[in-house]
Amino acid sequence: MTYKNSLKRLSEWPTADLAHLPTPLIHLPLLGHVLGTNRLWAKMDAETGFALGGNKVRKLEYVLAPQELKEVNCLITAGGPQSNHCRVTAAFAARQGMRCVLVTNPGHGKDPTGNALLHRLFGAEIVIVEDRSERVAQMQIVAAKLRAAGERPLVVPMGASTPLGCLGYAQAAIELCEQLDRLDDGCSETFVFSASSSGGTLAGMILGLALLNRTDVHLRGVSADATAQKLDTVCRDLAKIAAATLLGTQIDPSGISFKSLDDQVGKGYGLSTACSRESTELFGKYAGIVLDPTYTSKAAASLIAHLRAKPLKSHQRVVFLHTGGAPGLLA
């Protein structure tokens, strides 16, 4: 099945034009040597640029495009105290001169650090709820109060993991495939490891790979909190909805080589493990790449475990999709 019209529609979709694209695909020979392969690469979405970069920039480009913000003067979103999504949303609001309210949970220290500090630096108003389960309802409460006061708020779902937000990573998948096709390394298969929580990045990647019919790319989603089964369902369903409602086509996510992994969650969201600490040290020492304790260090740990358990064959390469989050390391 061909998706020419859908690919054209995706390429023409208006965005907020925040990201510095394309992000580089870089070879990591020293780190690869330590891990037993010379075919290790990193797709550096940590370098999307805006507000210290990361994967949220690509998604918010679509969710906060001009046509989505007509008459809006306030953004409301939610996340953990070290949320990268909240950081980028607050920075966008600051640049546009808009009010921003972030619903989050208590931090672990008296003084804010890392992303929590940046949220405040960008001028966001912070509303604290005790439990993660309270955040969605509290966003609606805040929105209702603002509307009653004459404000015009837009509630941005956590992680911008919506059908619209998925388009950012559908486009990223296309960008990555173009870069892979230019490599002259004799490889015909690629494993891509990416961190995930709300699922929007992986759903977008699935959508992009499906539109390209790329069965040679094997996507591995490493959960920061949810079970593998839950993450798998969320990502595949979101990809299908985005294809149908926005691009006017039907895709079959089962035709894409995608597997969710929850072997690196450890004791929970945001809590480091021995493996994630090792991956942070290895990527820093042998690649000059900064990982964060919540997402990328655990995705990197999964990649390392894969290479140690299943060495690459001569026709295979592996790509680490670096989704950013460096401020979290400084929290």
String of DSSP letters for 146-172: HHHTT--EEE--GGG-SHHHHHHHHHH
> In whole angstroms, how far apart are CA 138 and each of 36, 53, 98, 145, 154?
48, 27, 20, 11, 14
- Summarize the confidence of residues 215-220 as an average pLDDT: 98
Evaluate whether 60 touches 69 at the Cβ level (below 8 Å): no
Domain ranges of the chain: 4-55+161-330, 65-155
Q: Are 78 and 158 in contact (CB under 8 A)?
A: yes
The answer to whether the 4-55+161-330 and 65-155 domains have the same CATH topology is: yes
**Token pair 């870089």 in the structure block, residue:** 26
User: In angstroms, rounded to a whole number, what is the distance separating the alpha carbons of residues 320 and 85?
Assistant: 20
pLDDT number for residue 108: 63
Mean predicted lDDT score pLDDT of the chain: 96
Q: By CB neighbour count within 10 A (0-12 exposed, 13-18 middle, 19+ buried), where does 289 fall?
A: buried
pLDDT at 303: 98
> Is there a contact between 93 and 151 (Cβ–Cβ < 8 Å)?
no
What is the signed CA dihedral for 84, 87, 88, 93, rounded to 10 degrees? Answer: 160
Tens-place pLDDT, residues 66-119: 999 999 999 999 999 999 999 999 999 999 999 999 999 998 667 899 999 999
Question: What was the pLDDT predicted at 219?
Answer: 98
pLDDT digits (tens, 9 = 90+) for 129-176: 999 999 999 999 999 999 999 999 999 999 999 999 999 999 999 999
With beta carbons less than 8 A apart as the criterion, state whether 310 and 322 touch: no
Q: How far apart are CA 68 and CA 254, in angstroms?
A: 31
pTM for the whole thing? 0.96
Q: What is the pLDDT of residue 109?
A: 66
| 148: its two tokens | 């009653």
DSSP state of 42: E
Q: pLDDT tens for residues 26-76?
A: 999 999 999 999 999 999 999 999 999 999 999 999 999 999 999 999 999
The third-level CATH classification (topology) of the domain covering 65-155 is Rossmann fold (3.40.50)
Average pLDDT, integer, range 281-308: 97
Q: Work out the angle between the directed axes of helices 274-287 and 296-309 (0-180°, nearest 10).
A: 90
Q: Which CATH class is domain 4-55+161-330?
A: alpha beta
Of the candidates 271, 320, 273, the one whose C-alpha atom is nearest the C-alpha of residue 294 is: 271
Supply the pLDDT for residue 2. Answer: 81
Q: Return all residues near 75 (Cβ < 8 A) that are at least 6 apart.
A: 64, 89, 92, 93, 98, 99, 100, 101, 153, 154, 156
User: What percent of the chain lies above the pLDDT cut of 90?
Assistant: 95
**Cα-based distances in Å from 143 to 72, 129, 136, 148, 244:** 12, 15, 11, 9, 29
User: What per-residue confidence (pLDDT) applies to 329?
Assistant: 93
- Look at residue 184 in the predicted model and tell me its pLDDT: 94
